[in-house]
Structure 1
Amino acid sequence: MFVKDFKKNFYDAIQNQRVLVLVSFDVDALCACKILQYHYTPSENYSQRMLVAMVTCVVSVSVPDATPLCGSPIHHCQKAWVSGLEDLERAFVENSEGIKHVVMINSCATVDVVEMLQPPSTPGFYISDSHRPVDIHNVFNAVQVKLLMKEEELTELPEYDEVFRDDSSDEDSGNESDSSDRSGKKRRFDEAAIDRRREKRLWNENRNKVIFDYTKFTSYGTSSSLLMFEMAWKMSKDTNDLLWLAIIGVSDQYVHFKTPRDKYMDDVMALQSHVARHNHRGDDEENLISINCLKIVFDEELTLTMYRHWSLFESICHSVGMACKFKVWTLKGQKKLNEFLAEMGMPLNQCKQKFSAMDTELKGNIKGMIQDQMNKYGLVMQDIVIPSFSAQYGYRNKLCATDAVYACCAVLEGTEKGKTPNDCFLDAVDILTRSNVAALEKGLELAKRQLKAVVTQVQTFLDMHQVISAGPFLYALIQEGTADVKFFSKVNCLIRLARFTLEAHCSVSRSKKARTLPLVLGAPLNTEQGTTLVIGIPPLELDDERKNFFGKAFEQAASSTNSRTHHDYFDSHVMEMKTDDRSKFFDALLNLLQT
């Protein structure tokens, strides 16, 4: 059931109650969790402080009593971490004792949560999840499941009567017919029974078709952090810090290609009004603002990855759009890029040093200099700028929202030896704490390593002609033993690699069909267990929709070949499989998509 009034039917309902908070392993979910926890800081009374103590720690986190996420004392804290559906079940079983309310952030909307968890009592499940489609049982469960999302986004939701029916009337009718049968009306009863069975069979066939049509594509809705911020705003509890968290959550969807550009623009426009409200200062107030005050600015941001924390040259080479336009992995492309920078009036020695060390005049004119030359080099405005936000506190360099996403995600999916998922989650929380500059800088450096690994792998794919056309789709496989392969065992990094690979392949392919083909990408996951991580992304031609059909396709291909696959991720277009079954699985997928 959809929650209409978040304050009345969610916030007020869970106050002074034991609450289990389960959070997915992504940046948007982490931001939403921090916004939610802000409401339970010990600022009102003792019972409110006790509520903070009762809020259990997030999925993928084990929070010690001395270092709570929200910065307030947390006692008797239940600990759990999960990376998929099975771990989520385990976390629920281990932490659900005495729990009356369970809040799920970016998890479980696409599955029947009551059927999956089989709760022994009747806790209330509050689901704030951007994954689509939402399972029909969650939508029509008016007792246990409350959906914290925008109902108007679910435009293709089937009607209740199309997917549920009450068969008790059939049984009652049958009992009456038995009585009639004993009265000598057996023939009429048989005909009625046949008609009922035929009608039920047709209804079931139609139900299966309706459900298949509803679930055949996966997509994403409004980010959970934005919804949590809007709840805070309606309760007059929003702050600039919470606004920045919502901005990072929306930017996370953009960075990882979850929502189309139009949807991102709508969310940015909604956030921009809040930015103007929280960051408007009069002339008299300007000198009274503390230098440590967070300031958020809305502007057209260059689509150059982390350029303020890198060199301009490196940033261009590691940004998907610009890198693919210039084909920087080739000698000809490098030469063309050098010519572009020269015609901009940008000396190469300036471009290759750290951005913060460049001449002030050059730094301030980069956007205009690029725009002056874009037509000559086949660039369009969408390749160069995108509306975004940047934050600044103190005298430090500005931090763009997308840069914060890269840094946070790199730490969240850390591969450092000795680091547990719990450690990675807590480190990512530190990055979202604006006073922890050291953690942010460490995250930015790790993000650069990831991006370098992505570009190196893309160049390997293209140089070795490893992006293969299977007819209805493209596929590429990362070989075992590849340098930095550890990065690609993580979902978000592998998604960015897949997108970069697809755009790079389309930029060099002579076939006009390339942009109409989706890509399947596989990476070694666990060599000892012989498993591969496989993801599928839609073609560039459908970029305005960002709908993915690989979830159902993967399930059907695996089922038809008895391939040993594991569909445990919250994103159905991501799965694990036994490396030995890869060949027959791809053959089945080929046959399936050709029909």
Structure 2
Amino acid sequence: MLVSDLRKEFYDVIKGKRILVLVHSDIDGICASKILQSLFRADHILYTVVPVKTRSDLVSAFEQHREQARYFLLLNCGGCLDLVDVLSPPEDVKIFVADNHRPLDVCNIYNGDQVRILSQLGEDEEVPAFEDVFREEESEDEDEDSDEEDGKRRRFDEETLERRRARRQWHQQRHKIIFDYTQFSYYGSSTAMLMFDLAWKLSKDNNELLWWAIVGVTEGQVFERTEQDRCVLATGTLQGHVSRLNHQTQDSQPLDCLRITFEKELKLALYRHWSLVESMRHSLYASTTLKLWTLRGEKRLQELLAEMGLPLVQCRQLYSGMDVNLRQDLRSLLEEKSEKYGLPDLLFPSFSASRGFRIKVGSADYVYSAAALLEPPQKDITPTAAALDVADCLAVGREEVLERGIEGSKQQLSAIYRQVQTFLDMNQVISAGPFLYATVIQGTPDAWFFSAPHCLTLLARFTLRAHVSVSRGRKSGALPLVLTSPDVRAAQPDTCLVCGIPPTSEDSRRNFFGKAFEQAAEKTASRAELEFFDTNIIRLSVDDRSKFFDALISLLS
């Protein structure tokens, strides 16, 4: 059931009750959970938060805690599953779902009692009509049973045959409607933004909650998960809240107060915490546009810096150590030269936070830091501990955790850059006909980074953009990419992760690989685990990889 009023149909319902919050280990979900925790503490609502990473984690956490609570909230997980079928909840259990994964399961949308969807559907999200996917068939089943019992003693009459023919046609039509609805996976609006909207309506919003909503929205921008028009609308809404909550002058606020500003931000990864040259080299947009892994690209970068009047000595040291005047003029200088060097989208509207005399930190910096903390290079950190680190990183006043995440992100981005350079130098991005594919070789020193879903997706996007930028064939821009990497983090040996991303020529963020992977695995009886909530990533047995790829080529041809 779709909930229209979050305050009346969700928050007022759980007041005075105990609620279990199952949150997906992604940045938007953790930001949403932190906003909710602030509201729950203010209204003395008992709650338990459990991070989950896969579908098995979701089922396990529900089974473990089902006796403790009658109200469950799923953040960025479970919306695309038939929850009543998967979880088998008792009749008195109510499950609230706020999930940015799409498409939502039709059984959850039309469940009128146990499952309640908090997420708002966009105008472009067309849900099949109830009568097209659900049908009362009790009387027909009774006819079928009686017919089976008496099948040898009497012949079917024309009315029964016609009814069965109509039912068969309806089932065929239903299968087509469901397939058309579920064939593409994509992302909806930010869940953190949804929860901040609830806090605003409850008059319990503040700058800290607003910052978490901003970070949640920025994740969709930085990692290109959300449609561009949806990002623009969300940014406009957040800008209004920033103006409302930060209208006081700096003199009238405490020195250590969190202050948020809206400004144009450079599309350069961690440039405030890195040198300008390293930031440009490891940023997907600048690096693939200028082809910075080539000698010609390196010379073009030096030309750009020279035209801006920036000495190489300044650009190769940390941003905080650059001359003050150069730092102040950096954005305007880059904006002036961006068109000439093919970087028209180098600046984008974003937000930054400052507190006291500490360095200003952009919302994109928080996203990169949190993403690195979610998938740490240390082998002894559990997924739950990693999610708690991200929650600490987002808390105001925990700069040491933020800095640790930023250093981890630098390692992550450096590993991605090295691997992309290896792919291109060794011509390892190969056309399979309907798609491109590349494989991270077993034993690669950086394989640990790529055995995590988020980092593997970043590597896939960087690889595809880089390959298209150097490819002479016009067709490469219209081909998607499938990337595999050894899953060295997995408990079971001889498995790999498979990730699929859409082609660069498409502006839409919709991804068809989730359904394609499912069909290829079913067709070949491959040992595949469709465990991740991001369906374009699966875990696959290495022994089944060749036949899985053959089936995938056959399906997409």
Q: TM-score, normalised by structure 1?
A: 0.90
Mean alpha-carbon deviation: is it higher for 31-40 or for 250-259? 250-259
- For residues 386-535 of structure 1, what are the structure 2 equivalents within 5 Å? 386-526=348-488, 529-535=493-499
Select the residue among 159, 167, 179 that pairs with 1:200. Answer: 167
Contact 2:428–2:438 (Cα < 8 Å) also in 1: yes
Mean alpha-carbon deviation: is it higher for 125-134 or for 231-240? 231-240
Select the residue among 98, 119, 136 that pairs with 1:149. Answer: 119
Contact 1:256–1:492 (Cα < 8 Å) also in 2: no
| Gap change, CA 1:136 and 1:448, over 3 Å in 2 | same
1:593 counterpart = 2:547: no
Select the residue among 44, 47, 50 that pairs with 1:58. Answer: 50
Aligned to 1:97: 67
- For residues 6-21 of structure 1, what are the structure 2 equivalents within 5 Å? 6-21=6-21
| Gap change, CA 1:192 and 1:486, over 3 Å in 2 | same
Unaligned stretches of 5+ in structure 2? Answer: none
Q: What secondary structure sits across from 1:230 in the alignment?
A: helix
Contact 2:82–2:108 (Cα < 8 Å) also in 1: yes
In the alignment, the residues of structure 2 paired with residue 204 and residue 341 of structure 1 have an alpha-carbon distance, to the nearest angstrom, of 63
Shift of 1:566: 0.6
In the alignment, the residues of structure 1 paired with residue 338 and residue 400 of structure 2 have an alpha-carbon distance, to the nearest angstrom, of 37
Contact 2:335–2:347 (Cα < 8 Å) also in 1: no
| Gap change, CA 1:230 and 1:91, over 3 Å in 2 | same
Aligned to 1:66: none
Select the residue among 505, 510, 515 that pairs with 1:547. Answer: 510
The C-alpha deviation readout for 1:288-308, integer Å capped at 9, x for no partner, is 211111111111111011100
Contact 1:18–1:99 (Cα < 8 Å) also in 2: yes
In the alignment, the residues of structure 2 paired with residue 306 and residue 494 of structure 1 have an alpha-carbon distance, to the nearest angstrom, of 19
The C-alpha deviation readout for 1:514-565, integer Å capped at 9, x for no partner, is 11110001110038610000110001111x2100000111011111111111
| Gap change, CA 1:426 and 1:191, over 3 Å in 2 | same
| Gap change, CA 1:137 and 1:154, over 3 Å in 2 | farther
Contact 1:530–1:578 (Cα < 8 Å) also in 2: yes
- For residues 34-433 of structure 1, what are the structure 2 equivalents within 5 Å? 34-41=34-41, 43=42, 48=44, 51=45, 54-59=46-51, 82-153=52-123, 155-170=125-140, 190-281=157-248, 285-380=249-344, 382=345, 384-433=346-395
Q: Which amino acid is 1:248 matched to?
A: V
Q: Which amino acid is 2:391 matched to?
A: V
Aligned to 1:575: 538
In the alignment, the residues of structure 2 paired with residue 373 and residue 175 of structure 1 have an alpha-carbon distance, to the nearest angstrom, of 76
In the alignment, the residues of structure 1 paired with residue 520 and residue 214 of structure 2 have an alpha-carbon distance, to the nearest angstrom, of 38
Contact 1:153–1:221 (Cα < 8 Å) also in 2: no
Contact 2:91–2:114 (Cα < 8 Å) also in 1: no
In the alignment, the residues of structure 1 paired with residue 146 and residue 172 of structure 2 have an alpha-carbon distance, to the nearest angstrom, of 27
| Gap change, CA 1:170 and 1:463, over 3 Å in 2 | same
In the alignment, the residues of structure 2 paired with residue 275 and residue 556 of structure 1 have an alpha-carbon distance, to the nearest angstrom, of 46
Mean alpha-carbon deviation: is it higher for 191-200 or for 285-294? 285-294
In the alignment, the residues of structure 2 paired with residue 17 and residue 443 of structure 1 have an alpha-carbon distance, to the nearest angstrom, of 36
Shift of 1:235: 1.3
The C-alpha deviation readout for 1:151-198, integer Å capped at 9, x for no partner, is 3446321000100000134367889999xx9xxxx88x6100000010
Shift of 1:98: 3.5
Mean alpha-carbon deviation: is it higher for 196-205 or for 326-335? 326-335
Shift of 1:40: 1.6
The C-alpha deviation readout for 1:104-151, integer Å capped at 9, x for no partner, is 000000010110001234310000000000001000001000001113
| Gap change, CA 1:286 and 1:555, over 3 Å in 2 | closer
In the alignment, the residues of structure 1 paired with residue 553 and residue 250 of structure 2 have an alpha-carbon distance, to the nearest angstrom, of 63
Aligned to 1:69: none
In the alignment, the residues of structure 2 paired with residue 334 and residue 415 of structure 1 have an alpha-carbon distance, to the nearest angstrom, of 29
Shift of 1:261: 1.9
Mean alpha-carbon deviation: is it higher for 149-158 or for 512-521? 149-158
In the alignment, the residues of structure 2 paired with residue 546 and residue 160 of structure 1 have an alpha-carbon distance, to the nearest angstrom, of 27
Shift of 1:420: 1.8
Q: TM-score, normalised by structure 2?
A: 0.96
For these two proteins, the number of residue pairs brought into alignment is 551
Q: How many percent identity over aligned positions?
A: 46
Contact 1:297–1:389 (Cα < 8 Å) also in 2: yes
Q: Which amino acid is 2:54 matched to?
A: G
Q: Which amino acid is 2:259 matched to?
A: K
In the alignment, the residues of structure 2 paired with residue 374 and residue 158 of structure 1 have an alpha-carbon distance, to the nearest angstrom, of 45
Contact 1:174–1:193 (Cα < 8 Å) also in 2: no
In the alignment, the residues of structure 1 paired with residue 80 and residue 33 of structure 2 have an alpha-carbon distance, to the nearest angstrom, of 20
In the alignment, the residues of structure 2 paired with residue 314 and residue 152 of structure 1 have an alpha-carbon distance, to the nearest angstrom, of 39
Q: What secondary structure sits across from 2:511 in the alignment?
A: coil
Shift of 1:376: 2.5
Aligned to 1:562: 525
In the alignment, the residues of structure 2 paired with residue 286 and residue 133 of structure 1 have an alpha-carbon distance, to the nearest angstrom, of 44
| Gap change, CA 1:208 and 1:369, over 3 Å in 2 | same
| Gap change, CA 1:318 and 1:175, over 3 Å in 2 | closer
In the alignment, the residues of structure 2 paired with residue 18 and residue 128 of structure 1 have an alpha-carbon distance, to the nearest angstrom, of 18
Shift of 1:589: 0.6
Contact 1:557–1:589 (Cα < 8 Å) also in 2: yes
Q: What secondary structure sits across from 2:485 in the alignment?
A: strand
Q: What secondary structure sits across from 1:298 in the alignment?
A: strand
In the alignment, the residues of structure 2 paired with residue 92 and residue 173 of structure 1 have an alpha-carbon distance, to the nearest angstrom, of 39
Contact 1:256–1:495 (Cα < 8 Å) also in 2: no
The C-alpha deviation readout for 1:265-289, integer Å capped at 9, x for no partner, is 11111111101111112xxx53221
In the alignment, the residues of structure 1 paired with residue 409 and residue 359 of structure 2 have an alpha-carbon distance, to the nearest angstrom, of 17
Q: CA RMSD in A?
A: 1.8
Unaligned stretches of 5+ in structure 1? Answer: 60-81
Contact 1:241–1:294 (Cα < 8 Å) also in 2: yes
Q: Which amino acid is 2:352 matched to?
A: S
Contact 2:122–2:188 (Cα < 8 Å) also in 1: no
